[in-house]
Amino acid sequence: MNSYGQNRGMKRKANVLLERPKEVGIMQYAQSRANEIEALAEEIKKNTGARKVFQSLPIHMRRRAMSHNIKRLPRRLHNIARKEYDKITSNPKRPSRRHRRRPKNLLEEYQRRQRKHIWLETHIWHAKRFKMEDRWGYRIPLHSTDKSIKACYRATQNYCQIQDMSYLCCIEITGEEKNILEGLGHLTDSATGLTFGARSNMNGTREGHTCVYKYDKYPFHAIGCVSYLWKPETNQDESNLISRQLWIWCHPSCYNELWEELKICFKPENRDSDISELHQQTFSSGEITVISLKDTLNRHRLIGPSSNQILYQVLKPANILKKDASEQWWQKYYQIPSKSLAYTQQGEFIESLDKTPSPGEYTPYSVIGVTVGDPRISRPDRKTKVTKIKDVDTDNTLCYDKLVSDVSMSALWNSDIRQEVKATKMSDQKLNELKSDIMIPGSLADLGIEESRVPVILVQRPGTSGNYGSGWDVILPQNWSMAFWLTFIYHGARAAGSRDLESLAFEQSTTYYPNDYPDTSAGSIHEQKSAEKLKNKFDKRPPAKRCNYVKLGIAAPFLYPWRDLTSSWTDGRIEHIYVLRDRKCLKVLSQMFNANTKSINQQYPNKTMPEDNTS
Amino acid sequence: MISEEEVKPKSKFAEIKDLIDKEEFSLRKRLPRKLPKRTNDVYVSRRTNFKQQLERCHKLMNSGNEVYIHGLGAAINRAVNLALEVKKSSIGNVETETQTSTVELVDDLEPETDEHEPEIFIRNNSAVHIKVFKVTGTSVEPDQIQLP
């Protein structure tokens, strides 16, 4: 065996020798190796990664304080070390947390962070407890960080859920009623239901809802659903009767679109004469003025049967009848006898809240204006649970009595009063100091004239037929959001985010803007975003664990290809799709479906039905 | 005159029905007011499972000796049925006491077109409240028995 192996080795050696070069250029060989060695040496010298220069020294050459004193290093390393020091000094250390948390620095930081996405007034409260997301130009609370899906559902069913809806944008239109309606008539169509000029909403005792389209583009190019509120018509108003005021509340995702359309509606023909466009917030043409009240009004939404009791506990009618020498806004405002009469009626309404088991018993979308005291004074020290309703009033005439427009009137409509209420708010610190001075803790401090009076508007929301999802919207002046929010929470309301709003819409089987409006631009943006999210989630899974949509025969698992659907019906001649919102057509359709499947309960307000472009 | 008066309530109802048929209004019924509920109150509706409620009544009878069964409108039949069933199936002497009442119900007439004002229509509906309770022979106190 051994000899055999040796033989084989010999044979191979002979072969190798046969292939040897005839001569070796020593100089050339040494030159190329030298280059390689040099490159390697350079590579070693380079200080890469997080290692500092002094760390490359062997341990016996290391000295104390080498990291900041260059002269401790051997001279050959000075140049490299100097570069390193420069890097450190040009990129200074982040200031300490203590420094950063100083009130002035903290506020500066908050200002910087708010520049891109607007914060709600309750932002800091939410940011500590909620998952936040940038949506529609705002930083919006999505859902609570603790497990809360079931708790939120129960809150809407049995207790009270509260949402900060201050991101809804308000646009104020002032002018002659006829002119306003003429302009807005181009944006709406009566086939979709009530429009801005509905008689039921004109006197300002009810909030209206309508779908808005681009200028004369119905049924294509829907912008979105808006709610609107006319300023109540009162006889003894100081201003002339012809001029009316209208608030349009829209979702922030369609605010810019609506603003542009309003500009088209109310701009006169001759562009340079009448228009006085000061800045983006207002524009006027002739007698009509359009002002953006975006971020100047707050809106809290209370949902659930207990919201009545919570409102009763939080909203204490302010004392307005005390006559002092000083002239506060409420004293001037309530000088008119009809208004002070309305004040007592509003007080009666607040009293009735405690004896009514559900907000769904009031007239749908009714509007009630109230002037209340500072909510921080009556706030309990600790969070309390909602008390069970004790005595139910058997007489419920107040719930369905026709509202007088005086009762719906509120000082919140007046911009000067809004400003004054905002400016004269007592700081939390001062109020807490006053509270701590009281001998008996918890006793109500009667601050007299010092106490702020806050005008508030309540809007009823009826929910579905079983009273599920019924509640109140509370419209508050600027700066007061946090004061009311905390008081609501301390009286037992459960805070929720926009995820819970979506699930509420699902439970009620109503549509949620913008998710369920695929023909609006906000809706299509949402669709694309959610498709992207789903696709990413799908791609993250290993291929073997992915759902095989091809095999299951699902052509578009992440997106609704509306256009493909309609093109198969109409040989691809379509340009746009729209959602059918014509009430009469929908009624006919639902009758047709109900005739076939009577067992399926169908109560959808609008069904998505893509239609082809007739043009 | 008399005949006109007789027709009047009918005509109002017919008028409303007419308006709804013409698609100028839509009807929205509000729920009757919910009153505070004791543990032995049983509210009967057309949708509740009859067998389940019977079982519930038995349970309450065993623990508390009396049950109050309430039914409104179309559910009166079921409420009476339930009370009789409880009476029939329970061992011992079970008696019932019935009271009737009238409940005011509110309907909203929501306009479908811009020209109309919303209206509120109030109607009455009857309700029944049945007290089902156990009467044991020994529970009758001697002083309650009136001698002739």
State how far the alpha carbon of B146 is from the alpha carbons of A182, A205, B65, B133, B140, in Å. Answer: 83, 63, 25, 22, 11
Size of interface A-B (CB pairs under 8 A): 66
Please tell me the predicted confidence (pLDDT) of residue A170.
Answer: 92
- The neighbour count for residue A491, using CB atoms within 10 Å, is 25
Chain B residue with CA closest to A357: the answer is B34
Residues of A in Cβ contact (< 8 Å) with B104 = 396
Q: In what order do the strands lie in the sheet with B25-29?
A: B25-29, B94-111, B119-134, B66-72, B41-44
pLDDT at B41 over 80: yes
Residues of B in Cβ contact (< 8 Å) with A400 = 30, 106, 120, 122
To the nearest whole Å, the CA of B2 is away from the closest chain A CA by 30
A514 domain-assigned: no
Q: Are residues A345 and A466 in the same domain?
A: yes
Please tell me the predicted confidence (pLDDT) of residue B148.
Answer: 46
Residues of A in Cβ contact (< 8 Å) with B30 = 360-361, 400
- The neighbour count for residue B134, using CB atoms within 10 Å, is 17
Q: Which domains does chain B have, with CATH numbers?
A: 2-137 (3.30.110.20)
A185–B contact, CB cutoff 8 A: no
A442 domain-assigned: yes
Judged by CB atoms closer than 8 Å, whether chains meet at A199 and B117 is answered as yes
Q: Are residues A362 and A430 in the same domain?
A: yes
Chain B residue with CA closest to A198: the answer is B114
Which tokens go with A268? 């006169």
Judged by CB atoms closer than 8 Å, whether chains meet at A360 and B36 is answered as no
Alpha helices in A453-520 (DSSP H): 481-490, 498-508
The answer to whether A243 and A288 are in contact (CB under 8 A) is no
A452 domain-assigned: yes
Q: Are residues A431 and A491 in the same domain?
A: yes
A394–B contact, CB cutoff 8 A: yes
Judged by CB atoms closer than 8 Å, whether chains meet at A198 and B114 is answered as yes
Please tell me the predicted confidence (pLDDT) of residue B11.
Answer: 63
**Successive 10-residue mean pLDDT values, chain A, 615 residues:** 52 72 86 93 74 84 86 90 81 84 90 89 92 91 91 91 93 86 87 85 88 86 90 65 84 90 73 48 78 90 92 86 69 77 85 85 88 87 83 71 80 88 88 80 68 90 85 92 93 92 91 88 91 94 91 90 80 78 86 69 45 36
Which tokens go with A303? 């949902």
DSSP type of residue A284: E
Judged by CB atoms closer than 8 Å, whether chains meet at B31 and A467 is answered as yes
Q: Are residues A342 and A478 in the same domain?
A: yes
Q: Which residue range forms the structural domain that includes residue A193? A: 169-292
To the nearest whole Å, the CA of A157 is away from the closest chain B CA by 14
What whole-number distance in Å separates Cα of residue A335 and Cα of residue B34?
40
A54 domain-assigned: no
Q: Please, which residues have CB within 8 angstroms of residue A486's CB and are 6 or more apart in sequence?
A: A125, A376, A379
Q: Are residues A321 and A240 in the same domain?
A: no
User: Which of A199, A362, A397 to probe by mutation at the B interface, max B CB count within 10 Å?
Assistant: A199
pLDDT at B7 over 80: no
Please tell me the predicted confidence (pLDDT) of residue A482.
Answer: 93
Q: Are residues A446 and A487 in the same domain?
A: yes
Instruction: Find the mean pLDDT for residues B102-125.
Output: 85
Of the candidates B28, B110, B111, the beta carbon closest to that of A465 is on B28
Q: Are residues A280 and A326 in the same domain?
A: no
Please tell me the predicted confidence (pLDDT) of residue A161.
Answer: 94
To the nearest whole Å, the CA of A361 is away from the closest chain B CA by 7
Residue type, A6: Q
State how far the alpha carbon of A133 is from the alpha carbons of A127, A137, A357, A499, in Å. Answer: 10, 10, 35, 11
Residue ending a domain, choose from A231, A260, A292: A292
Q: Are residues A389 and A481 in the same domain?
A: yes
What whole-number distance in Å separates Cα of residue B53 and Cα of residue A612?
53
Of the candidates B29, B34, B114, the beta carbon closest to that of A194 is on B114
Residues of A in Cβ contact (< 8 Å) with B23 = 583-584, 587
pLDDT at B147 over 60: no
Please tell me the predicted confidence (pLDDT) of residue A196.
Answer: 87
The ipTM estimated for the assembled molecules is 0.76
A267 domain-assigned: yes
Residue ending a domain, choose from A440, A465, A497: A497
Q: Are residues A216 and A324 in the same domain?
A: no
Q: Are residues A335 and A425 in the same domain?
A: yes
How many domains does chain A fold into? 3
Residues of B in Cβ contact (< 8 Å) with A392 = 33-36
What whole-number distance in Å separates Cα of residue A382 and Cα of residue A387?
14
A8 domain-assigned: no
Judged by CB atoms closer than 8 Å, whether chains meet at A197 and B36 is answered as no
Please tell me the predicted confidence (pLDDT) of residue A604.
Answer: 45
A401 domain-assigned: yes
Q: Are residues A124 and A229 in the same domain?
A: no
The answer to whether A219 and A225 are in contact (CB under 8 A) is no
Please tell me the predicted confidence (pLDDT) of residue A168.
Answer: 92
Q: Are residues A392 and A445 in the same domain?
A: yes
Residue ending a domain, choose from A497, A516, A540: A497
A572 domain-assigned: no
